[in-house]
Amino acid sequence: MVGALYLHIPFCARKCAYCDFASWATPAGDALMGAYARAIEAQLDEAASLGLLEGCGTAYVGGGTPTLLGERDLGRLVEKIVEAASPSELTCEANPDSLGDEVLLALREAGATRLSVGVQSLDDGELCELGRLHDAACARERVAAAVATGLDVSVDLMCATPTQTLESWARTLEGAAALGVGHVSVYPLQIEEGTPLDRRYESDPCAWNDPEVQAQRMTQAQAALEACGYRRYEVASYARAGKTCRHNKAYWTGVPYLGLGTGASSMLDLKGYLRLCTACPQLPQAPDDARRVRLTVETPRGELAAKPSLSSLSFSLEFLTEPQAVAEDLMLGARLVEGLRPELVSRARELFGARFDDTIDALLARDLLADKNGRLAPTEQGWLLGNELYGALWDLAPGEVVVAKG
Ligand code: SF4
């Protein structure tokens, strides 16, 4: 019923200086972590008994720092995912400082297939500035240990940070590739208001890299990673042959997914939403023309751990009509190198008529999209000016998205 499952673990040893994700600094050994993991397991059982997890192909344990749960609780959680959903790809996010050999072994034995490690940089000064807990030696050593277990390993890298240079970025890219990982994700640093990094450089806006520098660093990443045998398949994602992340691809291709845990988001079709409603009387009735529902869990982590039942959760919701869902799929599909699926383009043409062709013609004329082997696909320029490309496709959607609480 859903193609993908996401579990959010909102615990970190310390907040990084740039982070505004749903995660909170948590002392080692805090009993809340075990209680929260048990609560998520109970929710997985409930979702499975509703039939929501039938046909689920991929699962992702993200955070936060899932590896902070430790080998016993994390291993048990992964075993429960395998029992409830049997995904053929099961990724766990990790940070080098909490990725001990015992955690690696527990993940492997419990049935994880993939590990995504938050390395960010291989320059000690940059790591310190970002407020990361690990240094470059720790990242290198732990990623190498993960690769040696036989798990598929991905690393996240961050570009355009205040003190990064062309040379230090080149060293990080080459160093990551040399570790033998199958997948690399590359993101420019976003300035999130109110974070320590934002405050640190408040009076020195020149410290921040502008969109031009960000674009230059992303282009540099493409050249360096492709020279090392990786192929770019999404604006921020590079993989060796056979190592693309199927879970992330599900997000970009309109596959329904279920998200459990504080701050987790779901995207359900109407059938999936009605099924969830049978266990969640607090959820509102969908408007007649709704075809897609986006839900985010708003229950704080302590409350969720104390009352795990799906019926106790509070959600924020967005109801999308079919034209809005198609516009959203166009926007997400334009992140992919392979471009827009022909059946999606046909449906968009039926729904939006001449407005669709006008929009596409304008994007082709501006070199934000191109016809690549008969498919509409983003150009380099389209990715660099992503907000304009995605915005133009989303603007095809008529009316306002209906929002609700439940
Ligand atoms: S490890 Fe990730 S989620 Fe945790 S504080 Fe750092 S950036 Fe945020």
Residue 143 domain-assigned (yes or no): yes
Span from the CA of 132 to the centroid of ligand 1 (angstroms): 8
Q: What's the chain's average pLDDT?
A: 96
Q: Whose CA is nearest to atom 2 of ligand 1?
A: 64
Please indicate, yes or no, whether residues 52 and 91 belong to a single structural domain of this protein: yes
Residues sharing a CB contact under 8 Å with residue 352, sequence separation 6 or more, in sequence order: 323, 326, 359, 396
Q: Whose CA is nearest to atom 3 of ligand 1?
A: 64
Please indicate, yes or no, whether residues 382 and 241 belong to a single structural domain of this protein: no
Tokens 């615990």 correspond to 11
Q: Whose CA is nearest to atom 8 of ligand 1?
A: 19
* Minimum-distance ligand 1 atom for the alpha carbon of 12: 4
Span from the CA of 78 to the centroid of ligand 1 (angstroms): 21
Span from the CA of 23 to the centroid of ligand 1 (angstroms): 7
Per-residue confidence (pLDDT) for residue 210, from 0 to 100: 83
- Domain carrying residue 368: 269-289+314-406
pLDDT class of 208 with cuts at 50, 70, 90: confident
**Residue 336 gets which letter from DSSP?**
B
Please indicate, yes or no, whether residues 112 and 175 belong to a single structural domain of this protein: yes
pLDDT tens by residue, 89-125: 999 999 999 999 999 999 999 999 999 999 999 999 9
pLDDT tens by residue, 319-339: 999 999 999 999 999 999 999
Is 201 a pocket residue for ligand 1 (Cβ < 6 Å)?
no
Is 13 a pocket residue for ligand 1 (Cβ < 6 Å)?
no
Residue 260 domain-assigned (yes or no): no
Span from the CA of 276 to the centroid of ligand 1 (angstroms): 30
* Minimum-distance ligand 1 atom for the alpha carbon of 64: 3
Q: Which two tokens stand for residue 341?
A: 């699926």
Please indicate, yes or no, whether residues 216 and 320 belong to a single structural domain of this protein: no
Please indicate, yes or no, whether residues 345 and 196 belong to a single structural domain of this protein: no
Instruction: Report the range of poorest mean pLDDT among 131-135, 201-205, 286-290.
Output: 201-205
Q: Whose CA is nearest to atom 5 of ligand 1?
A: 15
* Cα 390 to Cα 327: distance, rounded to the nearest angstrom: 9
What's at 342, amino acid-wise? P
Span from the CA of 102 to the centroid of ligand 1 (angstroms): 22
Please indicate, yes or no, whether residues 147 and 62 belong to a single structural domain of this protein: yes
For ligand 1, mutation pick of 9, 23, 67, 117 (most atoms within 8 Å of CB): 23
pLDDT beyond 80 at 278: yes
Please indicate, yes or no, whether residues 327 and 361 belong to a single structural domain of this protein: yes
pLDDT tens by residue, 135-190: 999 999 999 999 999 999 999 999 999 999 999 999 999 999 999 999 999 999 98
For ligand 1, mutation pick of 16, 26, 130 (most atoms within 8 Å of CB): 16
pLDDT beyond 90 at 192: no
* Minimum-distance ligand 1 atom for the alpha carbon of 132: 6
For ligand 1, mutation pick of 12, 97, 132 (most atoms within 8 Å of CB): 12
pLDDT tens by residue, 40-64: 999 999 999 999 999 999 999 999 9
Residue 25 domain-assigned (yes or no): yes
Angle at CA of residue 259, ends 300 and 316, nearest 5°: 55
Per-residue confidence (pLDDT) for residue 369, from 0 to 100: 97
> pLDDT > 70: what percent of the chain?
100
- Exposure b/e, 177-208, CB count within 10 A at least 16 = b: bebebbbbbbbbbeeeeebebeeeeeeeeeeb
Question: Which regions of 189-246 does DSSP assign to beta strands (E)?
Answer: 231-234, 237-239
Is 16 a pocket residue for ligand 1 (Cβ < 6 Å)?
yes
Per-residue confidence (pLDDT) for residue 201, from 0 to 100: 83
For ligand 1, mutation pick of 9, 14, 15, 157 (most atoms within 8 Å of CB): 15
What's at 198, amino acid-wise? D
Span from the CA of 114 to the centroid of ligand 1 (angstroms): 19
Please indicate, yes or no, whether residues 11 and 124 belong to a single structural domain of this protein: yes
Residue 262 domain-assigned (yes or no): no
pLDDT beyond 90 at 398: no
Question: How many separate domains does the chain show?
Answer: 2
For ligand 1, mutation pick of 33, 61, 65, 138 (most atoms within 8 Å of CB): 65
Please indicate, yes or no, whether residues 234 and 281 belong to a single structural domain of this protein: no
Q: What is the DSSP string of 346-398?
A: HHHHHHHTHHHHHHHHHHHHTTSEEEETTEEEE-HHHHHTHHHHHHHHHTTS-
Is 95 a pocket residue for ligand 1 (Cβ < 6 Å)?
yes
Residue 299 domain-assigned (yes or no): no
